[in-house]
Amino acid sequence: MAWVVLSGRLVTGKGEATFFTQADWARAAFQDLVGIDPWPGTLNLQLTETADLEAWAEIRLAPGRLLRAPDPEWCDGRVYPARLEERINAAVVVPDVASYPDDQVEIIAAVQLRRELTATDGDELVIEIET
């Protein structure tokens, strides 16, 4: 097991994650897989540096922890334990969706990350991901 460090720019997502992170099956899976009862929603980082994009592509090839949807209307995904800004336990969620952006890192945590980090769109953040 190794930790990979990436930095990215905070961006606003599509606003769909609140529904997903609060679904009973997803909450139970996140608690089981990474020990996190997620705050409603996710934090999205957009990677721009070539080295970060290459490292992220490698992480996405790793098996991670399988997030299996109980219904075909939902998508499966993978989850990777993470730390945000060296102090907040978190996890990265990679939905198994063909159109999912290659430069986006979607993060869950038990706290409201924007408030905890006092961060706004455009801020650079560092995340460590366990592979």
Q: What is the domain partition of the chain in residue ranges?
A: 3-130
In angstroms, the Cα distances linking 18 to 3, 43, 125 are 27, 11, 21
- Cα separation, 106 vs 50, whole angstroms: 18
| Secondary-structure class of domain 3-130 per CATH | mainly beta
- Cα separation, 89 vs 93, whole angstroms: 14
Q: What is the pLDDT of residues 56-79, one digit of tens each?
A: 999 999 989 999 888 877 888 999
The low-confidence residues of the chain, meaning pLDDT below 70, are 15-19
pTM: 0.92
What is the phi/psi pair of residue 63, to 5°?
Answer: -65, -30
According to the model, what pLDDT value does residue 81 have? 97
According to the model, what pLDDT value does residue 76 have? 85
According to the model, what pLDDT value does residue 16 have? 65
Provide the pairing of β-strand 104-108 with 3-11.
unpaired
